[in-house]
Amino acid sequence: MIAMQEDTQAPRQLDQRYDGLAKVTGQAKYAAEFPVKNVAYGYIVLSTIPSGAVTAIDQAAAERSSGVLAVMTPFNAPKVVAAPNVHLLQSPDVVYNGQPIALVVARSLNEAKHAATLLRITYRQQPARLDFKALLKESRIPKRGASVSQRGDAAASLAKAAATIDETYTTPIQNHNPMEPHATIAWWEGNKLSVYDSTQGITGVRQNLVKTFSLQPDDVRVQCPYVGGGFGTKGSVWSHVALAAMAAKVVQRPVKIAIEREQMFGSVGSRPNTHQHIKLAASSDGKLLLTQHHVLMYTAVYGDFVEGAANQTSLLYDSESLATSHRMVELNLGMGTWQRAPGEATGTVGLEIALDELAEKLNIDPVQLRLVNYAEQDPSHNRPWSSKHLRECYAQASERFGWSRRTAQPGQHREGNKLIGYGMGTAIYGAGRSPSSAIVRILPNGRLFAGIGTQDLGTGTYTILAQTAAAVFSIDPTLVEVKLGDSTLPRSGGSGGSTTASSVCPAVHDAAMAARQKLFDLAANDAQSPLHGATAADLDTKDGKLFLKSSAQSEAGKSETIAALLTRNGSTPIEATATSELPKDREAFTSHSWGAVFAEVAVDADTRMVHVRRVVGTYDIGTLLNNKTGLNQLMGGIAWGVSMALHEEALIDPIHGRTVNESLAEYHVPVNADIGEIDITCLNIPDTRFNPLGSRGIGEIGITGAVAAIANAIYNATGKRVRDLPITLDKIMA
């Protein structure tokens, strides 16, 4: 990796999103919108039983139906190598209600959907595992990744305790609902497969298709210029992607499959439920003596997904003794998957409500309790943090919020018919990076091109990449063309775990530095350049000009434009690629992002309806690369925190195992009127040990801590402690 030069300016920020105009004018094309010639439409038929097998499918009527090109079933589908979490009609077995069991392909979507209703499907049913509580006794440890930790002597610690908490906190299954549901268009040219797909990882989609169809990486091209939100559900490759490719082979023309909103509930992952048993013990001054966080969740009978809700507990606070674990109960439901801040979103619900309960028992301010147990280094590895300024987050957010006005005793503040309460929680999310490669070109017209095989989920990747390349040359970021979302570009990782910015910006930075070096060499070796003979160390660029650092930019003869230099040298672009690797000393420290969240709620004294009036969050996320796109992600995370605290819950029919509220009318998410004032600040302290640009990742931390802050505020308002999400008015009233 090329080290960042001292004199490189901090990126000039783009005030507007790079992709903003294209999106608001409808020019931005999403996966299902590409006009692929001769495209046919695939409609996935889902099982209506939770467990058993399809014994027969009578498809004669469907095949005769208008426009139908093919009906693919477990009895006639081409053989492929299916990944473990997908259902590609390779077997008649049914393991959950909502599993893909057939695909109808027709000239139009309506014809495909109509023909699907004509299929006569016969099942053999067998008893299904659907009752999570009844099956708790059959829980088991995850098959991979023990995700357990243990330190100290629990009995000895407990013996010294002045106060203890022993409670269970539960969170429901949550379904992803990005604005844009999944969609794929697939087509073959000989043995070459191309797809438009809405994904958080074009590289992962390519790998999946290479494996499924036994191809070579160069045989598969994945394109995804825009994504209408992912939040984890587009972090893995679900059945529809390969089904579209299989169907395209069968009907010998491109096939599009666009998942409908109700199909989003089950077959493309969901956040597992959690039962979190938490024990805390502390001395009278609040010092944690014992912390235990044991989590139970469902997993699909056909595979494991761990919602790592106890993971942050092993390192967020310093506790004399500690134990965490995860166990799972197999159910006949669709596979769980990552959902925004997987682990921390649910885990901070239990832990941060439990701490609120402990603070009350000890009569200590909740912020003070967290400061008393502040982890100065990573207690799970006994090594330093690359950077941690959580103390400043507590101080700044509590000041902005007006936390000093809080009364510890609940139910003390009333405004007319509203009960007012204050609550807080700590936000935490891990920081990660993946190796990335990028290409940067200096064009003869003085503009830049930056290309990288990443994807922009709507988070601002285009914007920060334009800034990063522009900063190296000190040009306006609007002069950079960014191309991403195409697997023919240099390879980058998936966009999950808030890793994208910290992975792709260093790669584009390094490629831009390498291109700049080539530019300097060209000038130095060009006898006609006024900079002939200069050493690279003496040269710099700004606003399209190349100049000797030692001479004023305006001094005649000591500068020229990049455009003039390139035009004189054959008008060919200068091009460089670079790969940004992970820091070599990454085992020497732990990197996390941090935050403090404070919430004010107003609870109707009669109906117990909750309104979250105000949320104040201060975050330590390293360098804030762009105000608009960065703060927007934190704001979205907090809005989802309101959703998780008060609204969201997938309800499973206990007999048929189907999600019954599979629409946005019945699966409640907040609307604008549900969201009050959100005040977000970032400390903006670079973490250059983690990443030369100092950023750590911002996409997921916003939801963490926020849910508990709201739950704690509801307790402070009403005196009713609800430990079961979502906190609906009936639970507050009970």
Name the residues annotated as catalytic: 700
Look up tokens 């909502």; give the residue.
Answer: 98
Question: Strand 675-682 to strand 539-542: parallel, antiparallel, or no bridges (unpaired)?
Answer: unpaired
Backbone angles phi, psi at 253, to 5 degrees: -160, 165
Contact of 140 with 303, CB cutoff 8 Å:
no
Nearest distance from C-beta of residue 267 to ligand MOS, angstroms: 18
Rounded to the nearest whole angstrom, what is the least distance from the CB of residue 316 to ligand MOS in the complex? 19
Nearer to ligand MOS, 337 or 467 (CB): 337
Q: How many residues bind ligand MOS (CB under 6 A)?
A: 12
Could you check whether the bond before residue 444 is cis, i.e. omega within 30 degrees of 0? no
In whole angstroms, the minimum distance from the beta carbon of 663 to ligand MOS comes to 22
- Angle of helix 239-251 relative to helix 202-212, nearest 10 degrees, comes to 50
Residue with smallest beta-carbon separation from ligand MOS: 232
One residue of 230, 444, 490, 493 binding ligand MOS per CB under 6 A? 230
Residue 161: left (phi > 0), alpha (psi -120 to 50), or beta?
Answer: beta
Measured from the CB atom, is 236 or 291 closer to ligand MOS?
A: 236
Please choose, out of 337-345, 527-535, 596-604, 623-631, the segment that lies near ligand MOS by the rule CB under 6 A: 337-345
Three-state DSSP at 180 gives coil
Residue 704 CB, shortest distance to ligand MOS, in Å, is 12
Taking CB under 6 A as the rule, does residue 339 contact ligand MOS? yes
Q: Angle between the 461-473 and 500-525 helix axes, to the nearest 10 degrees?
A: 30
- Stretch in the footprint of ligand MOS (CB under 6 A) among 17-25, 224-232, 298-306, 513-521: 224-232
Instruction: Copy the structure tokens of residue 160.
Output: 């010294």
Two tokens, residue 574: 């200068």
Least distance between ligand MOS and beta carbon 80 (Å): 26
The alpha carbon dihedral of 697, 145, 177, 260 has a sign of positive
Report the nearest approach of ligand MOS to the CB of residue 165 (Å).
29
Residue 29 DSSP one-character state? P
- Considering only residues 142, 232, 334, 336, which one is a binding residue for ligand MOS as defined by CB under 6 A? 232
Rounded to the nearest whole angstrom, what is the least distance from the CB of residue 338 to ligand MOS in the complex?
4
When the beta carbons of 226 and 403 are compared against ligand MOS, the nearer one is: 226
Residue 54's nearest CA partner among 88, 8, 89, 26 is: 89
Residue 401: HSE in the Cβ half-sphere, 13 Å Cα cutoff: 33
Element (H or E) spanning 153, and its range?
none
Pick the piece of the chain touching ligand MOS (CB under 6 A) from 225-233, 376-384, 448-456, 518-526.
Answer: 225-233
State the nearest-atom distance from the C-beta of 459 to ligand MOS, in Å. 10
* 475 vs 701, beta carbon nearer ligand MOS: 701
State the SS3 of 613-680. Answer: EEEEEEEECECCCCHHHHHHHHHHHHHHHHHHHHCCCCCECCCCCCECCCCCCCCCCCCHHHEEEEEE
Provide the 3-class DSSP secondary structure of residue 173: coil
Closer residue to ligand MOS (CB): 339 or 691: 339
Alpha-carbon gap, residue 729 to 125, rounded angstroms: 38
Q: How many distinct helices (H) and strands (E) make up the chain?
A: 15, 27
Helix (H, G, I), strand (E, B) or coil at 249: helix
Binding segment for ligand MOS (CB under 6 A), chosen from 142-150, 231-239, 635-643, 709-717, is 231-239
One of 132, 187, 231, 473 touching ligand MOS (CB under 6 A): 231
Nearer to ligand MOS, 73 or 500 (CB): 500
Figure out which of the listed residues 50, 342, 657, 726 binds ligand MOS, where binding follows CB under 6 A.
342
570's CB contacts (< 8 A; 6+ apart) are: none
176 binds ligand MOS (CB under 6 A): no
Which CB sits closer to ligand MOS, 198 or 339?
339
Locate the DSSP E strands across 59-117.
Answer: 68-72, 93-94, 100-106
DSSP-derived secondary structure letter, 294: E
Least distance between ligand MOS and beta carbon 234 (Å): 7
Token pair listed for 222: 């994945």
Q: Determine, following the binding rule CB under 6 A, whether residue 455 of this chain makes contact with ligand MOS.
A: no
**Residues 476-505: x where in contact with ligand MOS by CB under 6 A, - otherwise, as a string:** --------------------xx--------
Determine how many CB atoms are found less than 10 A away from the CB of residue 586. Answer: 15
Site string for ligand MOS, 194-213 (x = CB under 6 A): ------x-------------
In 3D, which of 369, 365, 319 has the Cα closest to residue 160?
A: 319
Q: Which is nearer to ligand MOS, 496 or 641 (CB)?
A: 496
Specify the residue, 200 or 324, whose C-beta has the smaller distance to ligand MOS: 200
Rounded least distance, CB 345 to ligand MOS, Å: 9
Nearer to ligand MOS, 511 or 638 (CB): 638
CA distance 64 to 380: 63
Report the relative pairing of strands 321-331 and 288-300 from DSSP bridges: parallel
**Interacting residues with ligand MOS between 234 and 273 (CB under 6 A):** 235
Residues lying near ligand MOS in the complex (CB under 6 A)? 200, 230-232, 235, 338-340, 342, 496-497, 700
